[in-house]
Amino acid sequence: MPLVDTLSEDARWDALGLPDLAESAARATLDHLGLPPETCEIALLACDDARIADLNAEFRDKPGPTNVLSWPAEELAPDADGGAPIQPTPPLPGMALELGDIAIAYDTCAREAAEQAKPLADHVTHLVVHGCLHLLGYDHIRPKDAARMEGLEVEILAKLGLPDPYGEHGA
């Protein structure tokens, strides 16, 4: 059973091979954090800007599209800025640990990748890692939390053979 259950609402994702890319990114994230990927489950919605704009408005009260959104199954964020998130509650025997849902928008991802002169697959891999970290209680609102999360993203992406997304071109 795959770690990431991908639902594609936009055929443009098919050419990128998103299910395999997302599976690799999510596995690398969980492995890096010491969580067994084979016991976890993530739902990924691959959509377009119109759909993610609706979700962004509904759940974040922000108009317009964004690149990635996430909905953790559990609130794992630390109280202190820069603190370690709480570990997810272990699942019942024989059950998957549901980490939550991620939505990713093709139009915004493709535009950002072009603006940053990066391969789309590399940018999307970064955003899936980013979304997975959000599911696990990491965030980038407070300064120390942002530094911790970005540091993890750089480490995980390096293990996947990808450059620092916060380097020359920024995120």
List the binding residues for Zn(2+): 130, 134, 140
Helix (H, G, I), strand (E, B) or coil at 55: helix
Angle between helix axes 120-135 and 18-33 (nearest 10 degrees) is 50
Return the HEC string of 86-155: CCCCCCCCCCCEEEEEEEEEHHHHHHHHHHCCCCHHHHHHHHHHHHHHHHCCCCCCCHHHHHHHHHHHHH
Whole-angstrom distance, CA of residue 135 vs CA of residue 99: 6
Please enumerate, by residue number, every residue annotated as part of a binding site: 130, 134, 140
